[in-house]
């Protein structure tokens, strides 16, 4: 009984084993940390910083602080440690993320508190001003008004912002990929990709949905490719914009292609030299024969083959095409898109076209031997045929063509010419800079030693250190592109060499003696007249592809990758860095 009474005496008077005030304080701080951790997870995506790293830092700090708070004997000390550790991490992250964004997007700054005062603590924002900076016209020729409904109004604003920025930067292609945590946006300006700041995925999806609606595409289809056209006008300048959407399990991608003046180009607009243009016109006047138009991917191959097509009199001649994808509309030309679901092969559709007896047949792409044989036979009989082919130079195009047909005689019987090309950017007339290159380098290139060349300007800044941007080129130093071509005419003598030669080196040696090939020489002419720069020739022509013609007996070089800004062929590299500024 005595033992029982002693134990009973040790029972506390209160039945409360946890201090409710301490528990409440700990829960409040813990909930605040959890909210901050969730915000960091989303914010790292919005500001495009290291999401995984920051999540681990915040989580690790929270776990460490909680452990210390629970195991330190004195509650007040542990509680303060918990707050200090998490507050330190929060301050470090906010300083880091504020350094990545514009002033209007910072948090816990004077600008942020002013926004809270104007918009309300709980985000009751004033409606964002929506302006029509780009006049949009739908696929069914209706002008798009500013929507009244709030969700569509926001979609319209985001689309306006994107298109205005893209057109101001002179983007020819706009890619919006809502396939990750954030939306990746890339502009292609004069052939060069410019990656813009990522958008939240929700904004990217809103833009895609609004453009699909304008283009009259199926809003429920998110996987299969869809294509259409809309119109976009900035001031008095109206431009067609082709729309393409593709999808995957990761999300949807929107590609907008601004159709510029190249939609009306003819052969004289492409950049041929006078001598080359004379050869082009002579080949065009032939009643029948085949012309191979070649170039690497994204070198303007489609633009060239369609420009050569427009050079024909399409009112007096029957011109028809078969394309795997319709890339560009051609006035007064019958364009047919190959559809495998119709139950006929490409060769069968080509045979049907040949039997219709057009004057000119245009094939931007061939994928099988049977179709190539049909094209060669049609060219040998009575029709003019243009064939597009991906190749690094005229000799690779010739080798591929012979390999595709499997017979030298059949491949060269009706061959009139082989064309190969690159695109080089044109120096901006407003800001390009003249300089005197190194005399030894000019001598190696067989160029006049006293000639001044031009290049893109060095970056310039005002007194406050802000960059001075040329309004004509938006700071790139270049405006537009032009072609650099090699044109190999296949006359009877050349045809005999093609059919009797034992190696491609023999063909190259003969062609070089005639002086008709060599991309680098043609590109240097455009450097001399101030059209482009040595640096641009190094980038676009590529040393590996351009030097093959100069060494016909050598083995075939490996495909050259994109050179570094300082790299290039020996003489060209010296030209890029030589001379006084």
CA 343, 348, 349, 355 torsion-angle sign: negative
CA 87, 124, 197, 48 torsion-angle sign: positive
E runs forming strands in 368-469: 384-390, 415-427, 433-435, 453-455
Give the containing element (helix H, strand E) for 171: none
Same domain, 203 and 253: yes
Which residues, at least 6 apart from 121, have a Cβ–Cβ distance to it below 8 Å?
none
Same domain, 430 and 553: yes
Residue 68 to residues 82, 464, 534, 543: CA-CA distances in angstroms? 7, 49, 64, 63
N-terminal to C-terminal alpha carbon distance within the chain: 106
Which residues, at least 6 apart from 308, have a Cβ–Cβ distance to it below 8 Å?
267, 280, 284, 291, 293, 386
Q: Of the candidates 259, 276, 306, which is a domain's last residue? A: 259
DSSP state of 215: T
Same domain, 231 and 288: no
Strand 319-323 and strand 334-337: the pairing is: parallel
Q: Is 392 in contact with 548 (CB distance < 8 Å)?
A: yes
| CATH classification at residue 366 | 3.40.50.300
CA 295, 297, 298, 300 torsion-angle sign: positive
Say how many C-beta atoms besides its own lie within 10 A of residue 515's C-beta: 9
Residue in 103, 101, 152, 105 with CA at minimum distance from that of residue 130: 152
**3 is a domain residue:** no
Domain count, the chain: 3
**363 is a domain residue:** yes
Same domain, 49 and 142: no
Give the containing element (helix H, strand E) for 20: helix 20-46
**129 is a domain residue:** no
Same domain, 502 and 563: yes
Say how many C-beta atoms besides its own lie within 10 A of residue 446's C-beta: 9
Same domain, 367 and 417: yes
Residue in 415, 543, 483 with CA at minimum distance from that of residue 273: 483
**58 is a domain residue:** yes
Same domain, 488 and 398: yes
**Three-state secondary structure along 118-132?**
HHCCCCCCCCCCCCC
Our CA angle for 382, 387, 390, nearest 5°, is 165
Please state, in angstroms and rounded to a whole number, the distance separating the CA atoms of residues 130 and 161.
Answer: 10
**465 is a domain residue:** yes
| CATH classification at residue 152 | 3.30.450.90
Summarize the chain as % helix, strand, coil (round to 5): 45, 20, 35
Per-residue pLDDT of the chain (581 residues; tens, 9 = 90+): 665 555 555 555 544 445 676 667 667 777 888 888 888 888 888 777 888 888 888 888 888 877 777 777 777 777 787 788 888 888 898 888 888 877 777 888 877 777 676 665 555 555 567 889 999 999 999 999 999 898 999 999 999 999 999 999 999 999 999 988 889 999 999 999 999 999 999 999 999 999 999 999 999 999 899 999 999 998 888 999 999 999 888 899 999 999 989 989 999 999 999 999 999 999 999 999 999 999 998 899 999 999 999 999 999 999 999 999 888 889 999 999 998 888 889 999 999 999 999 999 999 999 999 999 999 999 999 899 999 999 999 999 999 999 999 989 999 999 999 999 999 999 999 999 999 888 887 887 777 888 889 999 988 888 888 888 898 998 899 999 999 999 999 999 999 999 998 888 888 888 888 776 788 888 888 999 999 998 899 888 864 443 343 333 333 333 333 333 333 333 333 333 333 33
Task: Identify the pLDDT of residue 553.
Answer: 34
Same domain, 348 and 431: yes
Give the containing element (helix H, strand E) for 12: none
Same domain, 508 and 412: yes
**5 is a domain residue:** no
Strand 192-195 and strand 289-295: the pairing is: unpaired
Same domain, 384 and 488: yes
**124 is a domain residue:** no
Torsion angles phi and psi, residue 477, rounded to 5 = 90, -5
**11 is a domain residue:** no
Look up tokens 């050079």; give the residue. 311
Task: Identify the pLDDT of residue 516.
Answer: 66
Same domain, 378 and 439: yes
Same domain, 448 and 526: yes
Q: Of the candidates 259, 293, 323, which is a domain's last residue? A: 259
Q: Is 230 in contact with 137 (CB distance < 8 Å)?
A: yes
Task: Identify the pLDDT of residue 561.
Answer: 36
Q: Of the candidates 240, 259, 278, which is a domain's last residue? A: 259
Please state, in angstroms and rounded to a whole number, the distance separating the CA atoms of residues 341 and 538.
Answer: 44
Can you give the residue range of the structural domain that contains 507? 264-577
**Three-state secondary structure along 299-352?**
CCHHHHHHHHHHCCCCCCCCEEEEECCCCCCCCCCEEEECCHHHCCCHHHHHHH
Residue 493 to residues 116, 183, 396, 502: CA-CA distances in angstroms? 81, 57, 20, 16
């Amino acid at each position: 009984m005595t033992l029982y009474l002693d134990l009973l005496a040790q029972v506390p008077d209160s039945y409360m084993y946890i201090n409710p005030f301490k528990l409440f304080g700990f829960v409040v701080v813990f909930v605040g940390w959890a909210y901050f951790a969730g915000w960091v997870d989303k914010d790292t995506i919005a500001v495009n910083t290291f999401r995984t790293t920051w999540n681990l830092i915040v989580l690790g700090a929270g776990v460490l602080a909680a452990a210390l708070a629970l195991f330190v004997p004195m509650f007040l000390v542990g509680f303060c440690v918990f707050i200090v550790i998490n507050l330190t991490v929060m301050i470090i992250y906010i300083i880091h993320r504020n350094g990545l964004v514009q002033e209007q997007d910072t948090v816990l700054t004077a600008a942020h508190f002013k926004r809270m005062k104007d918009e309300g603590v709980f985000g009751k924002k004033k409606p964002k001003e929506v302006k029509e900076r780009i006049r949009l016209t739908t696929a069914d020729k209706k002008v798009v008004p500013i929507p009244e409904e709030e969700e569509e109004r926001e979609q319209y604003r985001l689309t306006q912002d994107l298109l205005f920025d893209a057109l101001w930067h002179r983007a020819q292609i706009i890619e919006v990929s809502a396939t990750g945590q954030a939306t990746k946006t890339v502009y292609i300006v004069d052939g060069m990709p410019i990656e813009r700041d990522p958008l939240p995925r929700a904004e990217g999806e809103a833009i895609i949905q609004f453009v699909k609606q304008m283009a009259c595409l199926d809003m429920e289809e998110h996987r299969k490719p869809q294509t259409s056209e809309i119109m976009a006008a900035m001031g008095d300048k109206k431009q067609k914009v082709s729309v393409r959407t593709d999808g995957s399990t990761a999300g949807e991608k929107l590609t907008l292609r601004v159709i510029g003046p190249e939609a009306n180009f003819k052969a004289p607009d492409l950049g041929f030299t006078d001598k080359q243009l004379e050869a082009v016109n002579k080949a065009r006047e032939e009643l029948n024969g085949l012309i191979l138009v070649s170039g690497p991917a994204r070198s303007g191959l489609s633009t060239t083959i369609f420009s050569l097509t427009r050079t024909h009199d399409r009112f007096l001649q029957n011109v028809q095409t078969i394309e795997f994808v319709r890339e560009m509309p051609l006035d007064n030309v019958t364009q047919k898109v190959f559809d495998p679901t119709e139950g006929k092969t490409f060769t069968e559709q080509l045979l049907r076209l040949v039997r219709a007896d057009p004057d000119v047949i245009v094939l931007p792409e061939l994928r099988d031997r049977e179709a190539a044989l049909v094209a060669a036979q049609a060219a040998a009989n009575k029709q003019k045929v243009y064939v597009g082919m991906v190749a690094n130079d005229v000799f690779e195009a010739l080798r591929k063509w012979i390999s595709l047909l499997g017979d030298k005689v059949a491949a060269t019987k009706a061959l009139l010419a082989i064309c190969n090309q690159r695109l080089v950017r044109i120096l901006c007339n407003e800001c390009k800079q003249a300089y005197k290159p190194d005399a030894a380098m000019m001598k190696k290139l067989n160029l006049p030693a006293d000639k001044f060349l031009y290049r893109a300007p060095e970056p310039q800044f005002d007194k406050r250190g802000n960059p001075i941007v040329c309004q004509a080129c938006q700071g790139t130093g270049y405006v537009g592109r032009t072609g650099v071509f090699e044109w190999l005419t296949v006359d009877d003598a050349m045809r005999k060499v093609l059919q009797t030669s034992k190696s491609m080196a023999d063909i190259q040696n003969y062609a070089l003696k005639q002086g008709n090939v060599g991309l680098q020489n043609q590109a240097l002419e455009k450097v001399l007249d101030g059209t482009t720069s040595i640096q641009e020739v190094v980038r676009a022509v590529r040393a590996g592809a351009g030097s093959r013609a100069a060494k016909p007996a050598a083995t075939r070089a490996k495909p050259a990758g994109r050179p570094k800004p300082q790299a290039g062929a020996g003489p060209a590299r010296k030209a890029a860095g030589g001379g006084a500024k």
